[in-house]
Amino acid sequence: MTLEFRTQEVSQDMLARTRKVIAVHINYPSRAAQRGRTPEQPSYFLKPSSSLALGSADVPGTVERPAGCELLGYEGEIALVMGKSARRVGLEDAWSHVQWVTASNDLGVYDLRYADKGSNVRSKGGDGFTPVGPALIPADAVDPAGLRIRAWHNGDLVQDDTTEDLLFPFAQLVADLSQLLTLEEGDIILTGTPAGASVAKPGDVVEIEVTGGDFSSGRLATKVTEGTTPFADFGAQPKTDDTQREEAYGSREAAGLAPAGSASVLTPELKAKLESVATATLSSQLRKRGLNNVSIDGLQATRPDRKVVGLARTLRYVPNREDLFKSHGGGFNAQKRAIDSVNEGEILVMEARGEKGTGTVGDILALRAQVRGAAAIITDGGVRDYSAVANLEMPTYFANPHPAVLGRRHIPWDTDITIACGGATVQPGDIIVADSDGILVIPPAIAGELVDDCIQQEKEETFIFRMVQEGNSVDGLYPMNKEWQARYQEWSAQQSPEGASGD
């Protein structure tokens, strides 16, 4: 039997017969890691059948972002279409009740999540918020643990995962739901989304495809349009905040928000001051404040002549374990998410446990960080494609070159958390200062007073240097005794603003 004969197109008649759409909250390990929570059992919500929309392989369908809303989230999902009713079925029999598999986009507006907390009635139930199709894959011809789901946003691949390591396999979802309610012919189960779901704006096109063996659902394309009819004043109004933006985009950084707690501490004025002083001076002033463990040690630089100042973003690798690499190492993993969300002037700091036996970043991802405006990459692990990375304008600090790929020793695990790099603890939003003398981690709360004291110290050292040039002994001069302090004050008062800054 040919694939063409066994594959059918989703029809409007089929959607009209669908009585209920049931969606799973979290089912992919990558999504659980992104959300920071892993459920012990599946949980569900209902979407009205009126939210269904017919998918097209040729011309994108449309979905309206309601007027006044900001956050229309998309989620690529595998949809199961029931072929016969199921009531209290067992795990071994559950999959036989599924007739078709296809692609779906579980759309929703985060602006209305507050209105029906937990039920998602308004946030997920809008007309057209569940496009499905375009083609139906026969369920009995594919392995439910061997399917692949991919999503593209304006042509860029943003979601890519498989059903091999689902938290709750598809048969379990069918059997679990059937314990309490009857799944009827035509009912649709949306089986969860992997990491990488984000926000689409008017004019954007989102495409979803499910594949299994030689079968494909085709690309389910949906174009976002802008709604023009405002909400009536007798119901819930759209509203959002940074928490919802973070949830919708997947991270604070993807939403264009500063890392939690960092605010905008690194003002242009503070950055300029930090760039004007040496790390040796900063280290001295940090020690005076009791901070002795704030240097990232043992690394070399591709651009040792550069002075780098920026806010830290963090990425943590854990030791490779093959089963976990399958769920966390592929697709839009933590490494790629960190690189693809680093912002202008930020420094991506990687915890690689000092492991030198593989690369932690290569030329393509380093280039992507540079294109996004990153000030630097710092890793206490290896670098692949060293020559290409070294030729980039953006500095990279690293332990050693190494040709091996990431998966030999590491799993990219988490982003924007407290990490250890080169013997120093680094938190998102810490200020990183690096030059040819080394790399320092500066707590943002003390940066202002610290750099002012550094400027004063370097001014004093300029005076001492000149006095030594003139033939004076360092005895009593370095450090300065009262006599030299008095002479310094006299010298300082005579300096112009330009001269006062030192050589």
Q: List the binding residues for substrate.
A: 362-365, 384
3-state secondary structure of 147: coil
For residues 344 and 411, what is the distance between their CA atoms, to the nearest angstrom?
26
Annotated binding site for Mg(2+): 385
In our burial notation (b when 16+ CB lie closer than 10 A, e otherwise), range 127-140 reads ebbbbbbbbbbbbe
Contacts of 379 (CB under 8 A, 6+ apart): 299, 349, 350, 352, 360, 361, 396, 397, 398, 399, 421
For residues 407 and 316, what is the distance between their CA atoms, to the nearest angstrom?
14
Contact call for residues 295 and 424 (beta carbons, < 8 A): yes
3-class DSSP string for 334-358: HHHHHHHHCCCCCEEEEECCCCCCC
476's tokens: 């009593």
Contact call for residues 435 and 279 (beta carbons, < 8 A): yes
Burial of 276 (0-12, 13-18, 19+ CB in 10 A): middle
For residues 274 and 500, what is the distance between their CA atoms, to the nearest angstrom?
16
Measured torsion, CA atoms of residues 39, 253, 331, 352, in degrees rounded to the nearest 10: -90
Annotated binding site: 362-365, 384-385
201's tokens: 């704006």
